[in-house]
Chain A
């Protein structure tokens, strides 16, 4: 319906835009996973459990998203950026009935996927920083994470390696450096990240609403009580930070003399029966098959990453008082994750091929189902990194965004747009940030005819306004313009003098780039 019929024009356009296509355009048909049966069965089960709850509440789910909505969402969630015009076109033109599943499989195989996961996990693990030296160090951790995700290392193995890092060249060493090797900080951060338990309130007092007592907190901290940083001058640069496990060192509850021996939260397993250093003992317990917290937390993270909120929300606060919206779903997905051998990629794939994930984010009625019912897709803010990369892509300002390279402009943009909230269903920014987007680079660069690769590509004289607008909309929104949009913008372009056509297209691109539809993942 929206194909360009003018052959030379479409040919030229395709060539102009194809150069920005990332490494994704590969043959995928040969790659049907052997596990497809169980994965599809689990996906169907997810949909059934979500539907059952909606039925009980007498509410209906939203219809499935359009192709344009879906490809943009899947790209942002799985590879962290919007698709190019060529990628979108190929997807819209694909008539295969299973093209959604094909797309998901393709994205998960792309090298951009582990990069995006590493970005996501880096900000989960570390408080964001804009200080150049810390950014440099964070990259060390990111490289490590990316390596694990690109090999799809078993998640339990990843947790174990993270917790017991000792080598100066290891990324996770930097996590220990950031926490100053303090047992109480390491306890509260690792339990939040890997167990979904927020024990830090119990640091100073017995938690009034929770089952955790001050003693539980310090017993967990005791697993980190025997760490030491050797005095090593080579201990600098790129997250390098050696850690030595000694066999002395204990924690005491502050302002008391009470020495607290190690103990696992919510478990009476005897740590001493586990071999190795204190940290190894903790790691063994954390990844043991009967650990009730670790896989649930991973599943809840994956769900929240894809759906905007966890089955338990907030996703990193899975205390017994904070109940899941779909307890059965959480348990079954957790079992599935364990059965799969802690395969994080398969878990993301399973969630991504559900109808629940594929629902439109549009409102269908005045009485909307509350967000915890997952009747429609949540609208999520792009991260500052995603927004920058999307703006670069929409202006075709770089043919290839290097995966790990330093980019001062990107760092500055990200620092400025950084938000306090970790909940992506908020749009948590202020006026100064909005001003920077409207008037600063990269938007000003992407929308100026002198600097915008896209506007230069569109200046070819044989293109019609309709074709040009099609490209702009595909680039920004991954969909062609609606009829009323086409009418409005064609009229706008017609009013511009001939020598201002490119500038006028730049104005259209400015409008799209500053719009909610562009700045949100929906």
Chain B
């Protein structure tokens, strides 16, 4: 449902006074086709695979080897590049994907691996590092935006640990969370996932007029206190509440309203939280949100397939394929793929050998991440593992290199420095970007 013109107008009157004229520059942007703007900054979408997906059954298959498992390979639109048979949609767009088959990291625990892949740092040090989402959204932020710079869709409480944390960058760069408002639909459920931001609308009984009156008084009250208490905590409270008020504006809030999409479009992404999350990501990128993270496998054990690997991976792969391939297609159709980089990763890979319960265990030694979209030279595999998938034989890639490549793809210098509380300059990534996968 579109917010009615009338309520929008009244809301505008309500907020215009307190926010001032400068803040209204977002208005024309929302209506315009963002992709046509040559000065548009890039956005990044992280497809987070909670639990650690198996490389051997997805993008680095070992057909003919005992480790290969049950799945067949399928050809893609790039000669010689093959994926799992369950990636029918992605196979048609393989020219947009760079497969990094030489990932090699050093954390095999879910929480530690999640932290490592999000920050580039191993956990436990004295410094609380920001997640790559926080770092990139700071580098790419739009101060005028009414939307948060970093949005996380359905993050997994179980596995994320501090991974979504803004760390030393502070709460201003924390992810705004979009959660599921109904029970996550089971695989065979007919129900559509209902994603949304809690408490984004006014409580019952409060109309825009009263909201306006409250905000006018609130503004005075805040200014009076801030003038006498110029402390960081008071400033932060005022800033964050102000931002939340902006986010309630119908034009901003509508970004999260999937009922504005046709049922055909919603179906095309898949009904689960991941597919609908990809659709929210598209809507946010259209509105210039710099960083969106969408989780697959957040509820339950996700990709943590210690037992019964194959049926679980088949189901997850199909859900992934539908959401991701529709996202690529739609961004491309809207002229947004050029400026949107998509990174597919989890906390580690899984053992190439199949264990006694038809499962695969944690394996950080040799695994796969995938970059796609803007800034990425698609249609290639970078790095190689041996026949058994046990070792990287070519193009060994560490987490810092992956993050550096991602930064470069979205147009941010990986050596960009942010400051720790001790005023120590810290680079987003110390790694080396892989030129071969960049355009």
List chain A positions with a Cβ less than 8 A from chain B: 130, 198, 200-201, 203-204, 361-363, 368, 378-381, 419-420, 425-440, 444, 448, 484-485, 488-489, 492, 503, 507-508, 510-512, 514-517, 519-520, 522
* Alpha-carbon gap, A503 to B213, bound state (A): 12
A130's nearest neighbour on chain B, judged by CB, is: B157
* Alpha-carbon gap, A508 to B230, bound state (A): 24
* Interface flags, B186-213, vs A, CB<8A=1, else 0: 0000000000011111111100001001
Pick the residue among B170, B229, B238 that contacts A428 (CB under 8 A). B170
* Alpha-carbon gap, A87 to B7, bound state (A): 43
Q: Are A519 and B237 in contact, CB atoms less than 8 angstroms apart?
A: yes
Q: Are A431 and B243 in contact, CB atoms less than 8 angstroms apart?
A: yes
Q: Are A426 and B171 in contact, CB atoms less than 8 angstroms apart?
A: yes
Q: Are A426 and B244 in contact, CB atoms less than 8 angstroms apart?
A: no
Contacts of A198 in B (CB 8 A): 126
* Alpha-carbon gap, A492 to B210, bound state (A): 12
B165's nearest neighbour on chain A, judged by CB, is: A420
From residue B15, how far is it (CB to closest CB) to chain A in Å? 13
Q: Are B171 and A428 in contact, CB atoms less than 8 angstroms apart?
A: yes
Q: Are A435 and B217 in contact, CB atoms less than 8 angstroms apart?
A: no
Q: Are B214 and A430 in contact, CB atoms less than 8 angstroms apart?
A: no
CB-CB under 8 A for A488 and B217, given A361-B229, A426-B171, A426-B233: yes
Q: Which of B224-265 contact A (CB under 8 A)?
A: 224-226, 228-234, 236-238, 240-241, 243-245, 247-248
Say yes or no for B175: interface residue by CB 8 A criterion: yes
Say yes or no for B176: interface residue by CB 8 A criterion: yes
From residue A428, how far is it (CB to closest CB) to chain B in Å? 5
Q: Are A201 and B205 in contact, CB atoms less than 8 angstroms apart?
A: no
Contacts of A507 in B (CB 8 A): 210, 213-214, 217
Q: Are A439 and B202 in contact, CB atoms less than 8 angstroms apart?
A: yes
Q: Are B220 and A432 in contact, CB atoms less than 8 angstroms apart?
A: no
Q: Are A517 and B221 in contact, CB atoms less than 8 angstroms apart?
A: yes
Pick the residue among B198, B204, B225 that contacts A436 (CB under 8 A). B198
CB-CB under 8 A for A511 and B233, given A428-B170, A430-B240, A439-B199: no
B177's nearest neighbour on chain A, judged by CB, is: A432
Say yes or no for B222: interface residue by CB 8 A criterion: yes
Q: Are B233 and A427 in contact, CB atoms less than 8 angstroms apart?
A: yes
Pick the residue among B201, B220, B221, B244 that contacts A431 (CB under 8 A). B244
B201's nearest neighbour on chain A, judged by CB, is: A439
CB-CB under 8 A for A440 and B198, given A363-B229, A379-B231: yes
The 7 closest A-B pairs by CB, nearest first: A434-B244, A427-B236, A430-B174, A379-B231, A439-B199, A444-B203, A427-B233
Q: Are B232 and A438 in contact, CB atoms less than 8 angstroms apart?
A: no
CB-CB under 8 A for A438 and B171, given A379-B234, A517-B225: no
Q: Are B232 and A426 in contact, CB atoms less than 8 angstroms apart?
A: yes
* Alpha-carbon gap, A428 to B237, bound state (A): 8
Q: Are A489 and B217 in contact, CB atoms less than 8 angstroms apart?
A: yes
* Alpha-carbon gap, A429 to B177, bound state (A): 12
Contacts of B175 in A (CB 8 A): 430
* A and B contact pairs by CB, cutoff 8 A, 9 listed: A198-B126, A427-B232, A427-B236, A430-B175, A432-B177, A432-B197, A485-B224, A516-B234, A522-B234
CB-CB under 8 A for A430 and B176, given A381-B233, A438-B199: yes
List chain B positions with a Cβ less than 8 A from chain A: 124-126, 128, 148, 157, 162, 165, 170-171, 174-177, 197-205, 210, 213-214, 217-218, 220-222, 224-226, 228-234, 236-238, 240-241, 243-245, 247-248
* Alpha-carbon gap, A515 to B241, bound state (A): 9
From residue A215, how far is it (CB to closest CB) to chain B in Å? 18
Q: Are A438 and B221 in contact, CB atoms less than 8 angstroms apart?
A: no
Pick the residue among B171, B226, B248 that contacts A516 (CB under 8 A). B226
Q: Are A510 and B214 in contact, CB atoms less than 8 angstroms apart?
A: yes
Q: Are B199 and A436 in contact, CB atoms less than 8 angstroms apart?
A: yes
* Alpha-carbon gap, A503 to B241, bound state (A): 22
B231's nearest neighbour on chain A, judged by CB, is: A379
Q: Are B231 and A361 in contact, CB atoms less than 8 angstroms apart?
A: yes
Contacts of B157 in A (CB 8 A): 130
Q: Are A434 and B202 in contact, CB atoms less than 8 angstroms apart?
A: no
Contacts of A520 in B (CB 8 A): 229, 233-234, 237
CB-CB under 8 A for A492 and B213, given A201-B124, A426-B233, A427-B234: yes
Contacts of B125 in A (CB 8 A): 201
Q: Are A427 and B225 in contact, CB atoms less than 8 angstroms apart?
A: no
Pick the residue among A363, A430, A484, A492 that contacts B171 (CB under 8 A). A430
* Alpha-carbon gap, A362 to B244, bound state (A): 26
A488's nearest neighbour on chain B, judged by CB, is: B220
Contacts of A503 in B (CB 8 A): 210
Contacts of A510 in B (CB 8 A): 214, 218
Contacts of B198 in A (CB 8 A): 432, 435-436, 440
Q: Are A429 and B203 in contact, CB atoms less than 8 angstroms apart?
A: no
Q: Are B234 and A435 in contact, CB atoms less than 8 angstroms apart?
A: no
Contacts of A378 in B (CB 8 A): 231
Q: Are A511 and B244 in contact, CB atoms less than 8 angstroms apart?
A: no
From residue B403, how far is it (CB to closest CB) to chain A in Å? 21
Q: Are B218 and A515 in contact, CB atoms less than 8 angstroms apart?
A: yes
From residue A489, how far is it (CB to closest CB) to chain B in Å? 7
Contacts of A362 in B (CB 8 A): 228-229
* Alpha-carbon gap, A515 to B233, bound state (A): 12
B230's nearest neighbour on chain A, judged by CB, is: A363
Residue of B174, B202, B248 with most partner-chain A CB within 10 A:
B174
Contacts of B229 in A (CB 8 A): 361-363, 379, 516, 520, 522
From residue A333, how far is it (CB to closest CB) to chain B in Å? 25
Q: Are B148 and A431 in contact, CB atoms less than 8 angstroms apart?
A: yes
From residue A475, how far is it (CB to closest CB) to chain B in Å? 15
From residue A345, how far is it (CB to closest CB) to chain B in Å? 28
Contacts of A361 in B (CB 8 A): 229, 231
* Alpha-carbon gap, A488 to B240, bound state (A): 25
Given contacts A515-B225, A516-B225, 5 further A-B contacts (CB under 8 A): A198-B126, A361-B229, A438-B199, A439-B248, A448-B205
Contacts of A204 in B (CB 8 A): 124
Q: Are A434 and B241 in contact, CB atoms less than 8 angstroms apart?
A: yes
Q: Are A425 and B232 in contact, CB atoms less than 8 angstroms apart?
A: yes
From residue A509, how far is it (CB to closest CB) to chain B in Å? 10
Contacts of B217 in A (CB 8 A): 488-489, 492, 507-508, 511
Q: Are B244 and A435 in contact, CB atoms less than 8 angstroms apart?
A: yes
Pick the residue among A203, A438, A485, A489 that contacts B244 (CB under 8 A). A438
* Alpha-carbon gap, A38 to B198, bound state (A): 54
Q: Are B233 and A379 in contact, CB atoms less than 8 angstroms apart?
A: yes
Contacts of A428 in B (CB 8 A): 170-171, 236
Residue of B232, B238, B241, B243 with most partner-chain A CB within 10 A:
B241
Q: Are B162 and A427 in contact, CB atoms less than 8 angstroms apart?
A: no
From residue A382, how far is it (CB to closest CB) to chain B in Å? 10
Contacts of A435 in B (CB 8 A): 197-200, 244, 247-248
From residue B35, how far is it (CB to closest CB) to chain A in Å? 26
* Alpha-carbon gap, A93 to B205, bound state (A): 39
A510's nearest neighbour on chain B, judged by CB, is: B214
Contacts of A514 in B (CB 8 A): 218, 241
Contacts of A200 in B (CB 8 A): 124
From residue A376, how far is it (CB to closest CB) to chain B in Å? 9
Contacts of A517 in B (CB 8 A): 221, 225
Contacts of A381 in B (CB 8 A): 233, 237
Q: Are A516 and B247 in contact, CB atoms less than 8 angstroms apart?
A: no
B243's nearest neighbour on chain A, judged by CB, is: A431
From residue A182, how far is it (CB to closest CB) to chain B in Å? 13
Pick the residue among A427, A431, A448 that contacts B176 (CB under 8 A). A431
B253's nearest neighbour on chain A, judged by CB, is: A435
* Alpha-carbon gap, A362 to B229, bound state (A): 5
Contacts of B204 in A (CB 8 A): 444
